[in-house]
């Protein structure tokens, strides 16, 4: 979840006038990437065990 929170905070600082709808759309896209990264990390951990 840190991945998404960091993105939202940075995005708001860079473009404070960004509409909520646009931010939500981008957050959904970023969360998919974050989930893929998280799954890779978890899978890598399992393989090491």
Specify whether the backbone of 10 is left (phi greater than 0), alpha (psi in -120 to 50) or beta: alpha
pTM recorded for the entire structure = 0.63
Cα–Cα nearest to 5, from 32, 30, 42: 30
16 secondary structure, DSSP code? T
Q: Assign 15 to helix, strand or coil.
A: coil
pLDDT digits (tens, 9 = 90+) for 1-49: 688 888 888 988 998 888 989 989 999 999 999 899 888 888 888 776 5
Measured CA distances, 33 to 16, 24, 49 (Å): 23, 14, 25
Within 10 Å of residue 1's Cβ, how many Cβ atoms? 8
């Amino acid at each position: 979840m840190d991945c998404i929170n960091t993105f939202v905070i940075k995005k708001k600082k860079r473009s404070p006038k960004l509409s909520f709808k646009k931010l939500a759309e981008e957050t959904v896209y970023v969360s998919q990437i974050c989930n893929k990264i998280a799954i890779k990390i978890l899978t890598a951990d399992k393989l090491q065990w």
